[in-house]
Structure 1
Amino acid sequence: MTTFIFDVLKDLHSRDVNFSKLTFILPSKRAGLFLKHQLSKVTNQTIFSPHILSIEEFVEEMSQLKSISNSELLFHFYNTYVHLTKESEPDSFETFSKWAQILLQDFNEIDRYLILQKNIFDYLSAIQDLKHWSLEENKTDFVKKYLSFWKKLPVYYQHYTEQLLNKKIGYQGLIYREAVENLEAYIQNNSNKQHVFLGFNALNTAEETIIQELLQNDLAKIYWDIDAVFINNTSHDAALFTRQHKTNWIYFKNHPFNWITENYSSPKNISVFGVPKNIGQAKFIGSLLNNLKEENQSLQNTAVVLGDENLLIPVLNSLPQNIEDLNITMGFPLKSIPLASLFESLFHLHKNPSKAFYYKDVINIIAHQFIRPLFYEDSIDYASKIIETIESNNIIYVSTERLKQMAPLHEDLINIVFSNWDQSIEKTLKNCSALILIIKSHLDSNKAANLLPLEYLYRFNELFNELARLNIEFGHIKDVSTLFSIYKELLTSETLDFQGEPLQGLQIMGMLESRVLDFETVIISSVNEGVLPSGKSNNSFIPFDVKLENKLPTYKEKDAVYTYHFYRLLQRAKQVYILYNTEADVLTGGEKSRFITQLELEGKHAINHQIVSPQVPVIQAALQTVEKNENLVNDIMKLAEKGFSPSSLTSYIRNPIDFYNQKLLKIKEHDDVEETVAANTLGTVVHNTLEDFYKPFIGTFITVENIKKLKSHIDEKVSHHFKNEYKEGDISKGKNLIVFEIAKRYVSNFLDLEIRDLKAGNQIKIIAIEANNDITLEIHELNFPVKLVGKVDRVDEYNGITRIIDYKTGSVEQGHVEIVDWEAITTDYKKYSKPFQVLSYAYMMHLMGAIKLPVEAGIISFKNLNAGFLKFAKKDKSGRGAQKDFLITNETLDNFKVELNRLILEICNPNIPFTEKDI
């Protein structure tokens, strides 16, 4: 395969031109590198390299103006805006930047196409005037101000461009307009210079004017890269611009049109693959490259062209391991670097002045991969210490002073990161730069392992230096919120460039980087409507009809640009793989592109069209099983010796794997900060309050007077226990205040229940409160001791009957504490977990000799207090209306003992694995 660049050089060589004296102008810098490489294949002697420029560099050289960034252009424009808007309150820079960006794009288009500015601005003003009822006498101040803005556009443009020209700087359109103004002088001063333009397609009016003038003065040659199939088909958009140039340029009336080739008709293998989702496309590209490698095809002349450049990282992660040489044309966006998330979090934290910060924002920064290592000192991880302190103390809003108390050795770092930035732009930028230096100092300790992070820091340091320069020079940034907007604007336009060998191995590029370049094997991704071509977009103040009237490009011309690039990639290629996303998405592109349909309808080449589904392995759903090895059996023995609690046993009944994780692996649930009081915290507060109230009455009969006295202390006790359990969490407002009031209501209602019972003539004697039980079980099948431990909320004597009571702040019904089948008590968690628990307490207290049978055991539910004491009951299997036995006797406990022993034997049996239950 011969490339377009090689053909051009070969043609020039046949004309005996002196390459060293030529100036080559190409659509992109990248194409220049390939041209220089191909030059060595054409010449057979050592020569000085010709002057090779991109069109932007060439025009900039002609205009004598320097191009500056979009952000800096915006600052200069704001100077103009403020200067010309003195009579009324100008928009803030942040508000201004939202509409000014669009206006600057329109300025750019107007200048690139050499439109008379006043005409188009007057036209726009007249349109807006008509829209807002120009004949209406009583216009609102808002409408007057709005119409005034449109009338000022010519003044804005005039003042703005004059300011830029005085400083010898400009935006692209202004540079092009100035280049045309200087064209005559350039021709006179460079009458011996020969220019070669190659690979161009869509040209703006300024470019057309410059190239045609150079051609007419015999100072240039131009080579087009268009195929006969396209240019001879008047409805084919791939040659839309080339046909116009061939027809309209006077130069081609008397000179040949170089070139119309016939490469597209040569045999090609074109495969179209519909792949679900973007990640699916990235993975499939990896598979295609792997197949090419396995077929011993060199990737030297292979290009992956990404229609959607956001696929870069997924594609890089999907490349096969056997690809050695790789060149990436597009840069890695700075916004995708981990350091970007750190500064975004910092700006988010400081956008609004505050003396205390929301704990999630603080933890997000403290735990960041670039910050956490900075809090490591003397083998102590202060970052973990800070996070644990926040979580264990329920600190919802964290002050800087409190952070310093948690990590006293890191006051300087805390000041930089968290000390209120006071909405001072200078202080903000200073803090960001200081933080970068601190991170750099840490990474420098192991520079070899941190080359990439150090590169990140360098690029961000440049970015903040640029922000500081813009702030010093212009002073338009008034608050952190505006600074954040400018920061994001700079961030989206900055990239971290990859280093590689551009002329070797696999090439990964965007569509525009492929200009003038040719490859034998091409893989094109994201060929969907809305991506390739990009479709309609109206990021302009100039209406569609006004653009048509003034010959400005519309979406049709922009689509034609992509059509040309797409088909040009196919012209000389031998193998083409076209990928599109089968899952239409409004945000990232719709159905398959019209380019694919057009290829199929043309009939020039056989198209192999397939829908590809990802290979999803069939994974049989299997419940987790943990076999009991010797070490695990030893751990179970130690746990048994320490003691099983009723809650741990019910955990096993519910799911043996949970028991294994919690009790044997010691994996605890993470204690998050409770922004709203959790149910278990509420339960603990109520339990502890009642414990305080009733402990003084152990061994005595309670009276109505006793309970009434307790009611006056409810607020004090509940507040005390909330402080103990909820730590520094705020219960003075919001949902937490409601939960606090609920806790007081629970306690009050419980005391009212006691008073009603006592007034009804019932006698209640408190036997024990929060009684600890610890017994050793006699299980003959086991050769090691097994203990049962637990704490009973309350034991009392009610009219001579001993009651074992468990408090529940949740809702419990009578049916929840009744059993029918003894065997189900250790297997059915949902039905029988509560009977199991209260029987465990009764069994322990009986073995300890703390109670005499028969007794009653049950639950008092604070959400169902009207039901009173919900007693354990054994029901007959005879169905509805069956007799219930509420008393716990020796027979009851003997039946329970059988099931309890069986459960413990199962846990301790080395041959029975822990098997997950399908809950």
Structure 2
Amino acid sequence: MTNFIQDVLIDLKNKQANFSDLIFILPSRRAGVFLRRELSLILDQTLFAPKIVSIESFVEELSELKSVSNTELLFQFYNTYIQLTPKPEREDFDTFSKWAQIILQDFNEIDRYLIPQSKIFDYLKAIQDLEHWSLEPNQTEVVTNYLKFWNKLPIYYKNFTQNLIENKQGYQGLLYREAFNNIKNYIDNTNQQHIFLGFNALNAAEENIIQDLLREDLASIYWDTDQSFLDNKIHDAGLFIRQHQNNWEHFKTAPFNWKNNHYKSQKNISVFGVPKNIGQAKAIGSILQDLSTNDPSLKKTAVVLGDENLLIPVLNSIPESVKTLNITMGFPLKSIPLASLFEHLFNLQKKNSLTYYYKDVISILTHQFIQPLFKNGSAIDLVELINKNNLVYLTEADLKAICKTEATLLSLLFSNWNNDANTGLNSCFKLIATIKEHLSEDKKQNQLGLEYLYRFNTLFNEILRLNDTYKHIKDIKGLYSIFKELLSSETLDFQGEPLQGLQIMGMLESRVLDFETIIISNVNEGILPSGKSNNSFIPFDVKIENKLPTYKEKDAVYTYHFYHLLQRAKNVYVLYNTEIDTLVGGEKSRFINQLELENIHNINHKILTPKVPSYKKELAIITKTESAISQLKEIARKGFSPSSLTSYVRNPIDFYYQKLLGISDLEEVEETIAANTLGTVVHNTLEQLYLPYKQQLLTVDIVKSLIPQIDKNITAFFKEEYKEGDMTKGKNLIVFEIAKRYVLNFLNLEIEDLKKGNTIKIIDLEAETNNVAIKIEGLDFPIQLRGTVDRIDEFNGVTRIIDYKTGKVDQSKVSIVDWEDLTSDYDKYSKSFQVLMYAYMLHKKKIADLPLEAGIISFKNLSEGLLKFTKKDQIRGGNKDTLITEDTLVEFEIQLKKLILEIFDPTIDFIEKEL
């Protein structure tokens, strides 16, 4: 089967057309490349190549104006705006750019469809007058200014377009209007034949230009549509061509070229539902792998991406068997890693503050283009110091003080731009130059990085040129807006052989082109077609009245492109995302439903899911080698603490990682005071308050005298623990007040006990019990125990060992029934193990005499007082014994020795527990 371009050329050849005198006009430049190739294959004689242009180039030539970028139009429009708007009513460039983009788009539509400007602007003004009761005498200033804006819109348009035309410039719509105005003059001065091929939706200017050329017998037009679409009066793929066929005067006497019947030819159509974009990319890779086994060149295969963001995942999924490919869509600059660096810098500077939030600072310091600029890994050291010292907000001076060796680089990254656009641009250029100098040390290895830098240097040069010319960007917000505008439209173009191998393209690049095998991705509602979107100030009913395109027509454009891809194709793979995402795209497209309902082709519809290997998570097992046993002996020599032993009970793997490998948790900035910091502050405060009264009996007056000292001590210890963190606002202030309340409540509880006639004597605070030796049969090396007890006191003559907990603890956590349970369940019995071990060590050191009590003060459960360790007796009806005696410690020692023997048993591995 021949393709559409071949059909057109064969028809012209049969009509003995003089190809050298022809002008071919196509919907896109890309189609021109394929037209030249087909010409070289079909023509059997040497001749001068015909002129081949896109419709945009042809219109630009007719209009005698030069097309201007959207960004530059924005600057020129702002010139018009400030010229016609009184100073008190003007908006700054940043605010202006938000709505001006939409206005320019509406200007474009009005001109492309040759709408009389006065008609449409009068319509819009009348609507706003009605909506805001314009005759109402007491209008607010906002409404008055708003109505003034709509009154001035025709003046803005007239002044803006006149200035552009005087400078021989224009936006696309203005080019079309001027081209239409010039067509009669053009016809009078040409005798060349114009061949229009592959068009579908045409704006009013295009329709009139083509019809004028047809009327003067200076043109031929070839449509690429199917009889199926034209015969079906409601099929959107034939919507525009049906209108042209019925409405154009030319077709009342001239033949309509062409209606083909390719769509109903046999096709293999597979529809695959795939979860997420990455899933679609992997599926495309798998399809290409299968296709390349039969056709390694894949020269008649195209991948059409409904969503440009899928480009990089697809490129990463292309199998090695695909040797040649051509990418017609550029890689968006906004997706390049360097874009995120400038995003971070703008986010830092937009606030125009001398202090920077630590996350913004760290995101810059750890960026892949910045980190290598610091010598000897000093960027990582700097980040670690920020985390360690809880530096939530930093200044440039702070950073330089921490890392003095990199003062110049830190100035480049963190000096304040003073909300000045020129300062910001200069800083960006300097940064690009610094990164370039570093990457140039190994050009071969850093080719891609240097290309990125070149493109961003070009982008900032364009911003500099625009600002030097128009001087509208005054502050960083305005600079950022233009940066984002250019970033969204600029691409990094790929180099390839356009006529060889696999073709990867967007939907619009596929116009006029035919392929035997087509793979189309992202066929979801909201993507293909894009659905209802109204980025316009012109209401829907006004668009209908003036025959401007609405979402209905825009959907019909994509319907035509979708079905055109299918017309001559033999193998079609349609992929859609099964995971509905309303922000990106919804359920499967109506195109898929339509294909199935037409019942013309046999559709193979499958849901693809990634192959997830079904395996049971294996718990980590680490063998106790001689080296591990040696390390354990060293730990035993220094001393096992209660927390290290309960860590083993909780999960032996954690014990291994922490104690043998020395792996600690990653230190991060405590933006909000952490629970362990709160606990440390409360502990230290209580120690400081009671320290002067060691070995003394407490009185009500003594405890009351401690209350005024709470604030000072809490503040001092927070400063010590929380470093540079801010405790004066937000959640931190709440935690600060909670710490004060915890200590106050504890003192009040102490006062209550004393008022009841109880005697309390402080024996020791933060008592260290180091070098407590324990002999275990079977182990012939020294084993020590160590720990720190928060408080030891005498309550009515009974010694109490007290451990403070700022978290919630209830009585069940310090009660046991069976001694065997003590080393088996961390969650239930770790608190009991801890207080018993304190009692055991203090008794061994002869600091505390038996019997004694040991327990926990829970600040979240303070009304319960001291939660004493309790041994419940099942046999005697659940009797509770809170006194720790010699028998208690003998039973505990049995469990303690058993636990330590297990830790040293070379036959028992460190086995991860399923938590």
- Normalising by structure 1, we get a TM-score of 0.94
Distance in 1 (CA, whole Å) between partners of 2:730 and 2:210 is 71
Distance in 2 (CA, whole Å) between partners of 1:721 and 1:590 is 54
Please say if 1:576 is aligned against 2:572: yes
Structure 1 residue aligned with 2:19: 19
Structure 2 residue aligned with 1:395: 391
Q: Is the 8 A contact 1:275 1:579 kept in 2?
A: yes
Write out aligned runs for 1:749-760 (5 A). Answer: 749-755=745-751, 757=753, 760=757
Following TM superposition, by how much is the alpha carbon of 1:603 offset from its aligned partner in structure 2, in angstroms?
Answer: 3.1
Distance in 2 (CA, whole Å) between partners of 1:279 and 1:424 is 41
Distance in 2 (CA, whole Å) between partners of 1:873 and 1:597 is 70
1:173 partner letter: G
Q: Is the 8 A contact 1:385 1:406 kept in 2?
A: no
Structure 2 residue aligned with 1:807: 804
Structure 1 residue aligned with 2:770: 773
Structure 1 residue aligned with 2:145: 145
Q: Is 678-687 or 857-866 further displaced after alignment?
A: 857-866
Please say if 1:406 is aligned against 2:406: no
Structure 2 residue aligned with 1:846: 843
Deviations 1:243-278 (A, max 9, x none): 332333333344333222222232211222233333
Following TM superposition, by how much is the alpha carbon of 1:55 offset from its aligned partner in structure 2, in angstroms?
Answer: 1.0
Distance in 1 (CA, whole Å) between partners of 2:273 and 2:759 is 80
1:807 partner letter: Y
Structure 2 residue aligned with 1:210: 209
2:122 partner letter: D
Structure 1 residue aligned with 2:292: 293
Q: Is the 8 A contact 1:698 1:769 kept in 2?
A: no
Deviations 1:538-590 (A, max 9, x none): 22222333323322222222222112111111111111112223344333333
Distance in 1 (CA, whole Å) between partners of 2:876 and 2:244 is 95
Following TM superposition, by how much is the alpha carbon of 1:164 offset from its aligned partner in structure 2, in angstroms?
Answer: 0.5
Deviations 1:145-194 (A, max 9, x none): 33332222221111010011111111001011111222233233333x33
Deviations 1:468-489 (A, max 9, x none): 2222222222321222222212
Identify the match of residue 792 of structure 1 among 789, 797, 802.
Answer: 789
Q: In 2 relative to 1, CA 803–141 (structure 1 residues): closer, same or farther, beyond 3 Å?
A: closer
Write out aligned runs for 1:99-138 (5 A). Answer: 99-134=99-134, 136-138=136-138
Structure 2 residue aligned with 1:29: 29
Unaligned stretches of 5+ residues in structure 1: none
Please say if 1:827 is aligned against 2:858: no
Q: Is the 8 A contact 2:349 2:476 kept in 1?
A: yes
Distance in 1 (CA, whole Å) between partners of 2:122 and 2:697 is 97
Q: In 2 relative to 1, CA 32–838 (structure 1 residues): closer, same or farther, beyond 3 Å?
A: same
Following TM superposition, by how much is the alpha carbon of 1:654 offset from its aligned partner in structure 2, in angstroms?
Answer: 1.6
Please say if 1:478 is aligned against 2:474: yes
Q: Give the 3-state SS of the residue equivalent to 1:576 in structure 2.
A: strand
Write out aligned runs for 1:245-256 (5 A). Answer: 245-256=244-255
Q: Is 409-418 or 610-619 further displaced after alignment?
A: 610-619
Structure 1 residue aligned with 2:360: 361
Structure 2 residue aligned with 1:897: 893
Distance in 1 (CA, whole Å) between partners of 2:109 and 2:38 is 35
Q: Is 350-359 or 297-306 further displaced after alignment?
A: 297-306
Structure 1 residue aligned with 2:347: 348
Q: In 2 relative to 1, CA 398–134 (structure 1 residues): closer, same or farther, beyond 3 Å?
A: closer
Structure 2 residue aligned with 1:81: 81
Distance in 2 (CA, whole Å) between partners of 1:788 and 1:748 is 34
Following TM superposition, by how much is the alpha carbon of 1:516 offset from its aligned partner in structure 2, in angstroms?
Answer: 0.7
Q: Is 891-900 or 131-140 further displaced after alignment?
A: 131-140
Distance in 2 (CA, whole Å) between partners of 1:733 and 1:416 is 32
Q: Is 3-12 or 42-51 further displaced after alignment?
A: 42-51
Deviations 1:175-234 (A, max 9, x none): 11111222233233333x333221111111211222222233333332221222223333
Structure 2 residue aligned with 1:592: 588
Q: In 2 relative to 1, CA 326–874 (structure 1 residues): closer, same or farther, beyond 3 Å?
A: same
1:843 partner letter: Y
Distance in 1 (CA, whole Å) between partners of 2:619 and 2:600 is 56
Unaligned stretches of 5+ residues in structure 2: none
Q: Is the 8 A contact 2:802 2:857 kept in 1?
A: yes
Q: In 2 relative to 1, CA 750–606 (structure 1 residues): closer, same or farther, beyond 3 Å?
A: closer
Distance in 2 (CA, whole Å) between partners of 1:799 and 1:230 is 99
Following TM superposition, by how much is the alpha carbon of 1:696 offset from its aligned partner in structure 2, in angstroms?
Answer: 4.7
Distance in 1 (CA, whole Å) between partners of 2:690 and 2:8 is 100
Please say if 1:522 is aligned against 2:518: yes
Please say if 1:762 is aligned against 2:752: no
Distance in 1 (CA, whole Å) between partners of 2:608 and 2:200 is 35
1:99 partner letter: W
Please say if 1:98 is aligned against 2:98: yes
Q: Is the 8 A contact 2:177 2:205 kept in 1?
A: yes
Q: Is the 8 A contact 2:769 2:845 kept in 1?
A: no
Following TM superposition, by how much is the alpha carbon of 1:537 offset from its aligned partner in structure 2, in angstroms?
Answer: 2.2
Following TM superposition, by how much is the alpha carbon of 1:843 offset from its aligned partner in structure 2, in angstroms?
Answer: 1.8
1:649 partner letter: L
Q: Give the 3-state SS of the residue equivalent to 1:177 in structure 2.
A: helix
Structure 2 residue aligned with 1:55: 55
Q: In 2 relative to 1, CA 593–695 (structure 1 residues): closer, same or farther, beyond 3 Å?
A: closer
Q: Is 225-234 or 32-41 further displaced after alignment?
A: 225-234
Write out aligned runs for 1:220-259 (5 A). Answer: 220-259=219-258
Deviations 1:127-152 (A, max 9, x none): 22233335545444433333332222
Distance in 1 (CA, whole Å) between partners of 2:717 and 2:139 is 65
Q: Give the 3-state SS of the residue equivalent to 1:773 in structure 2.
A: coil
1:775 partner letter: V
Structure 1 residue aligned with 2:38: 38
C-alpha RMSD of the superposition = 2.4
Q: In 2 relative to 1, CA 477–608 (structure 1 residues): closer, same or farther, beyond 3 Å?
A: same
Deviations 1:74-106 (A, max 9, x none): 111111122112275122222222222222111
Structure 1 residue aligned with 2:173: 173
Following TM superposition, by how much is the alpha carbon of 1:710 offset from its aligned partner in structure 2, in angstroms?
Answer: 4.4
Q: Is the 8 A contact 1:767 1:797 kept in 2?
A: no
1:735 partner letter: K
Q: Is the 8 A contact 1:238 1:567 kept in 2?
A: yes
Following TM superposition, by how much is the alpha carbon of 1:457 offset from its aligned partner in structure 2, in angstroms?
Answer: 1.3
Deviations 1:425-451 (A, max 9, x none): 111111111111111111111221211
Distance in 1 (CA, whole Å) between partners of 2:109 and 2:752 is 86
Q: Is the 8 A contact 2:390 2:724 kept in 1?
A: yes
Distance in 2 (CA, whole Å) between partners of 1:810 and 1:534 is 53
Following TM superposition, by how much is the alpha carbon of 1:21 offset from its aligned partner in structure 2, in angstroms?
Answer: 3.6
Write out aligned runs for 1:162-561 (5 A). Answer: 162-191=162-191, 193-296=192-295, 298-375=297-374, 377=375, 379=376, 381-561=377-557
Q: In 2 relative to 1, CA 300–763 (structure 1 residues): closer, same or farther, beyond 3 Å?
A: closer
Count the aligned residue pairs: 914
Q: Is 763-772 or 703-712 further displaced after alignment?
A: 703-712
1:838 partner letter: V
1:171 partner letter: Y
Distance in 1 (CA, whole Å) between partners of 2:734 and 2:573 is 63
2:801 partner letter: I
Q: Give the 3-state SS of the residue equivalent to 1:449 in structure 2.
A: coil
The percent of aligned pairs where both chains have the same amino acid is: 63
Following TM superposition, by how much is the alpha carbon of 1:702 offset from its aligned partner in structure 2, in angstroms?
Answer: 5.2
Structure 2 residue aligned with 1:66: 66
Q: Is 842-851 or 331-340 further displaced after alignment?
A: 842-851
Please say if 1:617 is aligned against 2:616: no
Q: In 2 relative to 1, CA 840–268 (structure 1 residues): closer, same or farther, beyond 3 Å?
A: same
Deviations 1:702-729 (A, max 9, x none): 5566555544543333332222111112
Following TM superposition, by how much is the alpha carbon of 1:323 offset from its aligned partner in structure 2, in angstroms?
Answer: 2.0
Q: Give the 3-state SS of the residue equivalent to 1:504 in structure 2.
A: coil
2:333 partner letter: L
1:290 partner letter: Q
Q: Is the 8 A contact 1:519 1:569 kept in 2?
A: yes
2:84 partner letter: L
Deviations 1:726-760 (A, max 9, x none): 11122233333333333334334444544555562
1:220 partner letter: A
